[in-house]
Amino acid sequence: MIRPVNAEMPVRPRRKRRGRYHHGDLGRALLQEALRTIQADGVESLTLRGVGKSLGVSRTALYRHFSDKSALLRAVAREGFRTLRLELLEAWQANGRGREAFEAMGVAYVRFALAHPSHYRVMFGGFVEMGSADPELAAEAAGAFGALVDALVALQQAGLVRRDEPLLLARFIWAIVHGIARLAIDGQMRCSPDESEALTRFAIERVRTGIAA
Amino acid sequence: MIRPVNAEMPVRPRRKRRGRYHHGDLGRALLQEALRTIQADGVESLTLRGVGKSLGVSRTALYRHFSDKSALLRAVAREGFRTLRLELLEAWQANGRGREAFEAMGVAYVRFALAHPSHYRVMFGGFVEMGSADPELAAEAAGAFGALVDALVALQQAGLVRRDEPLLLARFIWAIVHGIARLAIDGQMRCSPDESEALTRFAIERVRTGIAA
DNA sequence: ACCTGAACACCGTTCAAGT
DNA sequence: ACCTGAACACCGTTCAAGT
């Protein structure tokens, strides 16, 4: 079958030259392998040489796709914030967008951290300098935080939460779930996952009283 | 002046043999140099070789005093929990051991983290595996947590706080100040120290309502 | 006992060279 | 464009050797 000439196609489409090198999308493969390693063995076990080896690629192939190791970690963090945002939205929307949904979001947050502790550490561990550089990462992080802010504003408008400044309220709530998550995954409070969830529910219950309208 | 013979002195006091080797108490010096480096440049910049060099000592001299790098970091963490406990107690005792004193403890906690961010990260960053090994570290950490538990129990007995299980209440409070501290020092919420303190005060205010008797 | 240098097995990163 | 190996400047740790 002869494909018609299409104005959107480049004049001389680059052929893929498959098999010439090891990968079609090495960048994607590198990110996924890094995620796998981190999930399995933790960040401190992640080495560029190891990632390359797992993919049957030279130690330095990575530098064609990431400027350095920290750029790879930033990509990992970005991916994490994206997943977190989706899970928070899912909890909010699937539970009626009310007080119960807000509680479900808190539980979902802590569950995410407990399910992906190493990934969570990369997101928050200061491996990554937020801020100035990497606006994409900053945007993903802001997106996850935004899910929380939006939910709080909705609760305020429904008359369920006091009308303090939403940003301050959101930071307060975020600090609580983040604190529980980090203490749990860093092994600081000797707690089973069930106990961590019980603590989360207790916290939300007490906070509900504290911030009720 | 001739010092009298004292029964508490060892029979044949070891002479110091100063100048023979570089240090009288290299172990102490190593810990202090590690603390200095961490405070100045962060944990990731701490190298055993660098610590040795700063002290004019071979790269491997450290192994006479610490079994490995993680043992040095555990000593750093232990020192940190000791200081934190003392500062929490100071805040509690100097402010009347009541509701205001409890608020002062919360502020003191966050201030400690902001003043010594790298040190705080070593204490909580999972560089150190708490638990099984190093009972001294576990004891120091428990001591700092105990200051919080004791204060809460006192408030319960004074009828100022609901009589929930003290351990659960303490974990809840701890998670909040820890969460604020970590988000602040990891640069996650773009916040000045003053704003962090304002958030801390807001949190304590809301929590007071939430846990009031 | 306490300290030393040499040596080992690792890192991340750079760079000239290949296709 | 994309990948390669050699090389560089770092690590933590071990160990036989010195005093």
Confidence of residue B24 (pLDDT cuts 50, 70, 90): confident
Q: Any atom of strand C under 7 A from CB of A68? A: yes
Q: pLDDT digits over A150-190, tens only?
A: 999 999 999 999 999 999 999 999 999 999 999 999 988 87
Confidence of residue B11 (pLDDT cuts 50, 70, 90): very low
Of A44-58, A93-107, B117-131, the range with the lowest mean pLDDT is B117-131
Of A195-199, B9-13, B46-50, the range with the lowest mean pLDDT is B9-13
For residue A4, what pLDDT is reported? 36
Confidence of residue B15 (pLDDT cuts 50, 70, 90): very low
Residue at B103: amino acid letter: E
- How many whole angstroms separate alpha carbon A79 and alpha carbon B93? 46
Confidence of residue B1 (pLDDT cuts 50, 70, 90): very low
Q: pLDDT digits over A26-85, tens only?
A: 899 999 999 999 999 999 999 999 999 999 888 899 999 999 999 999 999 999 999 999
The pTM of the full predicted model, rounded to 2 decimals, is 0.88
pLDDT tops 80 at residue B129: no
- How many whole angstroms separate alpha carbon A31 and alpha carbon A124? 18
Confidence of residue A18 (pLDDT cuts 50, 70, 90): very low
Confidence of residue B2 (pLDDT cuts 50, 70, 90): very low
Chain C positions within 7 A of any protein Cβ atom are: 2-7, 10-15
Query: Of all protein residues, which has its CA closest to the C1' atom of C19?
Result: A20
Burial class (CB in 10 A: 0-12, 13-18, 19+), B142: middle
| Mean pLDDT calculated for residue range B162-189 | 94
The residues, ordered by sequence, that sit 6+ positions from B38 with a Cβ below 8 Å of its Cβ are B45, B46, B76, B118, B119, B122
Tokens of B127: 């560089």
Residues from A in contact with B at Cβ < 8 Å:
121, 124-126, 129-131, 141, 164, 168, 171-172, 174-180, 182-183, 185-191, 198-199, 202-203, 206-211
Q: Any atom of strand C under 7 A from CB of B23? A: yes
| Mean pLDDT calculated for residue range B99-108 | 95
Q: What is the mean pLDDT of chain B?
A: 86
- How many whole angstroms separate alpha carbon B203 and alpha carbon B136? 32
Q: pLDDT digits over B50-71, tens only?
A: 999 999 888 899 999 999 999 9
pLDDT higher at A26 or A91: A91
Q: pLDDT digits over A109-131, tens only?
A: 999 999 999 999 999 977 666 55
For residue A15, what pLDDT is reported? 27
Residues of A in contact with B125 (CB under 8 A): 125, 186
Q: pLDDT digits over A188-211, tens only?
A: 887 888 899 999 999 999 998 877
Nearest beta carbon to residue A171 from set B164, B174, B189: B189
pLDDT tops 90 at residue B160: yes
pLDDT higher at B19 or B149: B149
Rounded to 10 degrees, what is the CA torsion of B193, B195, B197, B201? 180
Confidence of residue A106 (pLDDT cuts 50, 70, 90): very high
Q: Do B199 and A164 lie within an 8 Å CB cutoff?
A: no
Q: Any atom of strand C under 7 A from CB of B49? A: no
Confidence of residue A23 (pLDDT cuts 50, 70, 90): low
CA–C1' distance A61–D6 (Å)? 15
pLDDT tops 90 at residue B140: yes
CA–C1' distance B60–D16 (Å)? 14
From residue B187, alpha-carbon distances to A209, B46, B64, B192 in Å are 29, 21, 37, 10
Q: How many residues does chain B have?
A: 213
| Mean pLDDT calculated for residue range B77-94 | 97
For residue B12, what pLDDT is reported? 24
Q: Do A187 and B130 lie within an 8 Å CB cutoff?
A: yes
pLDDT tops 70 at residue A107: yes
Nearest by Cα to A55 from A24, A79, A76:
A24
For residue B9, what pLDDT is reported? 31
Tokens of A107: 């539980």
CA–C1' distance A166–C11 (Å)? 45
For residue B84, what pLDDT is reported? 98
